[in-house]
Amino acid sequence: MNLATVLIVVVWTGVTLYAVLGGADFGAGILHLLARGSTATAKRRAIATAMGPVWEANHVWLIFVVTASFSAFPRAFGALGTVAFLPATLAVVAIVVRGCAFAFAGQIEGRPDVTARTQRLFGAASVAAPFLFGTVAGGLALQRSHVGELGFWIGPFQLLVGALAVALCAALAAIFLAVEMTRAGEAQLAASFGRGGLWATTAAGVLALVALAVASGASPRLFHDLTGRALPEVLAAIVALSTAVGALWRRRYRPARAAIGLSAAAIVWGWGIAQYPVLVGPELTVDNAAASGPELTAIVIALGAGLLILAPSLWLLYVAFRRHPVGVSR
Amino acid sequence: MTTPVAFIGHLTAGRAQMGTSLAFHLTFAVLGVGLPLMMLVAEGMHLRTGDPVWRALARRWARAFAILFAVGAVSGTIVSFELGLLFPRFMAFAGGVIGLPFSLEGFAFFIEAIFLGIYLYGWNRLSPRAHWLSGVPVVISAVASAFFIVTANAWMNVPRGFRVDHGRVTHVDPLAAMFNPAWATETAHMVVAAYLATAFGVAAVYAAGMLRGRRDAYHRRGLALSLAMAAILAPVQLGVGDLLGRTVASNQPAKLAALEGQYPTERGAGLSLGSIPIPGRARTVLNIKVPNLLSTLAKDDPHATIRGLSSFRKQDRTPMALPVRLSFLGMVGIGTYLIALSLWYWLRRKGRPRPEDRLTLLAVVSSGPLAFLANELGWLSTEFGRQPWLVYNVFRTKAGITTAPGLGATFTGFTLLYVALAAATIWLLRRLATGAPTTLAAERRMAAGA
């Protein structure tokens, strides 16, 4: 395995962590927007409390992916920036709006009207960002950067992948929150989040299968790769999604959380393996888009040293707030 | 490539969007470097003295920081995206060379975000000592972030550690690229500038409160702590700035000439207090000069030759001589004012301790915005001064811009977004700066009684 392959695995691990952790974070915003009925206020408070300490760290995975990919694969990064100019610009606007709206909403006191409006903005941007990232992922999977800007990310398959990303984010957040609420002794809220998780997971499963069917018509090559060398991941995703639905049905949230995390990871890796070694198709691959040897060596060493400090710090963060579970009644 | 709406040129729009994004991010990045140190000092004073005023200050700053860091993080995300969206050909050319400092910066930022989460949400969950300790990595990684990013900018000014063959970068030595001749002076100048701007910014808030009659211990200590930090660092910045000037003199003679408004090549050049270039002509007005000082400062020799701007080919020198000179003069002028102000405050206090008078407080209030303006002007002068190069003498700015259309529209959109974000942030911070916490007086009485 050469250095470029090592680095694409590292970048893809970053994409996976962002999909799961950042995805749960986006999903929390989506649930915030959708919260209805008598428990809406309690649910919104639970979401804000659970997200507070960790949302910033969850989103740094995006910065990690961006810097690692432009350092290791500068030509692919440049090409992607050109072809995905519009969706990436809109996605970064959505990220800015939701990040600021979340931080601001927590600090506004005594103006419930402003708080409510800020929170709606937070929710809407939380839907937009994963949707746009999903369309870019769909465009990359089709390997058609030569068709130009709009054709790259607007199409039935790309839009379906965008919707799939939104459903997955909602499912991740709902199940994560159901576990947290169970731990905090809030059985009613846990059940409510669990029902939301069941809907979102089912929707994600249906969207994934429809996307696969559309892919067979839109891009025979992609369909061939998804049902060929990426078949283990595709099957793993189907099994994990079904397991999550079953566990949610029986209100067993912990196994459901593991299953939904695995499904998101399996979908990301199935996509990656299907298009490997192509990065930004049809031309740029892991080898011809990579930086030169000394640059890659320096980046591998920097990433390794960074991870040595990062891993215990992250562990500390999650542990510091795990020992003191966050409850809404606090 | 066709641009449908041509109210602004393609390259100009792209540069303006990148510049606006960086200028916006800079304010928050500067506070992201400076505020953690002040929080930690205030909280440390509380640990040592037990005085709740210090703790109240640290907690208030932490709340403000929660807002500022969030805006800094997302505006930094914009910048990292825009590198690829606006200048994809530059990133394809040089992404690998500056990849090392950017990757390290990514980790430093990660550590800062993690420990900030622990710090902000840990007031009641950690022991006081553990809480204070959780702030230490925030202070260190904040400085490290600034350090790594600025080494990448230093490389754009003084590129080293690679060769160019047929338009592609080869023979890369990432360490030589990162530790180029400008790394030390440029990073030191930025980190000290960040601490200074934060200190004057915080001082301005408390001076404004005192002008409104809030002369309690909370405001007095907020002012004293921030001005103490400013007084220590302002003279340091004078020395660091001088060293950076020498780095520019030996590596970027065209930029030095633009910064100093020097058109003719001259032996024993004087340092000018004016020398404002007239656009379109190779001459300057208001040439008030201290004889031989520029040669002395730049080359350690009063009779050394300073190359003038006129001696460079037109396509190799900055087309923005006037903005470069004005922003440089503005930065130096504000810096001088800030040094004088901190000296004035402490000499007066030392002589005969008495309540701060109105004029001094007004001067401190003005110092906050001015210190941030100096940061912006410093970046404008160095970035405008490097033009027309994106990487000095290696890669032209116009060669890096994207081929995607619609930059006029995205520039307009982002500018509106920044205006809205700035308005929301100021509105929130103003609501937060409402004087000492109401519980503080009671808490102090209890502490005094106990």
- CB B122 to CB A320 under 8 A? yes
Count of CB atoms within 10 A of residue A115's CB?
16
Residue A327 pLDDT? 38
Give me the phi and psi of B289, to 5 degrees please.
Answer: -120, 145
Residue B184 pLDDT? 95
Quick: pLDDT tens for B156-173.
Answer: 999 999 999 888 888 999
Tell me, yes or no, if B399 comes closer than 8 A to chain A by beta carbon. no
Residue with tokens 């990040």: A99
In the predicted structure, residue A267 carries a pLDDT above the cut 90 = yes
Residue B396 pLDDT? 94
Let me know the angle formed at the C-alpha of B288 by B262 and B387, rounded to the nearest 5 degrees. Answer: 25
Closest CB from A77, A109, A317 relative to B118: A317
Q: Which residues of A touch B110 (CB under 8 A)?
A: 57, 60, 63-64, 306, 310, 313
Closest CB from B63, B114, B175 relative to A317: B114
Amino acid at B332: V
- CB B106 to CB A60 under 8 A? yes
Mean of all residue pLDDT scores within chain B: 90
B164 three-class SS: strand
- CB A103 to CB B67 under 8 A? yes
Residue A274 pLDDT? 94
ipTM of the complex: 0.87
Alpha-carbon span A46 to A41, nearest angstrom: 9
Locate the chain A residue with the closest alpha carbon to B109: A60
Segment B140-143 long-range contacts (CB within 8 Å, at least 24 positions apart):
B141/B108, B141/B109, B141/B111, B141/B112, B141/B115, B142/B32, B142/B33, B142/B36, B142/B108, B142/B112, B143/B33, B143/B191
Tell me, yes or no, if B340 comes closer than 8 A to chain A by beta carbon. no
Residue B181 pLDDT? 95
DSSP code at position B125 = T
Residue B447 pLDDT? 58
User: Across residues B117-127, what is the average pLDDT?
Assistant: 88
Spell out the residues 6+ positions from residue B149 whose beta carbon is closer than 8 angstroms to its own: B101, B102, B105
Quick: pLDDT tens for B82-118.
Answer: 998 999 999 999 988 998 999 999 889 889 988 998 9
Contact B103/A310 with Cβ under 8 angstroms? no
Residue A115 pLDDT? 85
- CB A74 to CB B81 under 8 A? no
Residue A278 pLDDT? 92
Tell me, yes or no, if B357 comes closer than 8 A to chain A by beta carbon. no
Closest CB from B113, B122, B425 relative to A60: B113
Query: Which of B81, B418, B425, B430 should one mutate to test binding to chain A, selecting the residue with the greatest count of A CBs within 10 A?
Result: B81
A326 band by pLDDT with thresholds 50, 70 and 90: very low
User: Across residues B331-347, what is the average pLDDT?
Assistant: 91
Residue B3 pLDDT? 47
Query: Which of B21, B67, B121 should one mutate to test binding to chain A, selecting the residue with the greatest count of A CBs within 10 A?
Result: B121
In the predicted structure, residue B299 carries a pLDDT above the cut 50 = yes
User: Across residues B410-420, what is the average pLDDT?
Assistant: 93
- CB A52 to CB B78 under 8 A? no
Residue B413 pLDDT? 93
User: Across residues B430-440, what is the average pLDDT?
Assistant: 73
- CB B102 to CB A80 under 8 A? no
- CB B109 to CB A89 under 8 A? no
In the predicted structure, residue A235 carries a pLDDT above the cut 90 = yes
Pairing of strands B271-272, B276-277: unpaired
Tell me, yes or no, if B438 comes closer than 8 A to chain A by beta carbon. no
Alpha-carbon span A310 to B56, nearest angstrom: 31
Query: Which of A295, A297, A309, A330 should one mutate to test binding to chain B, selecting the residue with the greatest count of B CBs within 10 A?
Result: A295
- Per-domain residue ranges for chain B? 19-259+310-404+415-449
Alpha-carbon span B422 to A247, nearest angstrom: 46
Residue B450 pLDDT? 43
Percent of chain B with pLDDT over 90: 67
Residue B401 pLDDT? 94
Residue with tokens 């405001």: B219
- Residue that wins the pLDDT comparison between B352 and B308: B308
User: Would you call the peptide bond into A53 cis, given omega within 30 degrees of 0 as the criterion?
Assistant: no
Residue A141 token pair: 């999977």
Query: Which of A54, A59, A60 should one mutate to test binding to chain B, selecting the residue with the greatest count of B CBs within 10 A?
Result: A60
- CB A96 to CB B170 under 8 A? no
Locate the chain A residue with the closest alpha carbon to B118: A317
Closest CB from B81, B91, B126 relative to A92: B81
Mean of all residue pLDDT scores within chain A: 90
- CB B107 to CB A74 under 8 A? no
Phi-psi region of B168 (alpha: psi -120 to 50; beta: other; left: phi over 0): beta
Percent of chain B with pLDDT over 70: 94
B125 band by pLDDT with thresholds 50, 70 and 90: confident
- Per-domain residue ranges for chain A? 3-322
User: Across residues B324-343, what is the average pLDDT?
Assistant: 94
User: Across residues B246-253, what is the average pLDDT?
Assistant: 94
In the predicted structure, residue A68 carries a pLDDT above the cut 80 = yes
User: Across residues A134-159, what is the average pLDDT?
Assistant: 87
Residue B351 pLDDT? 66
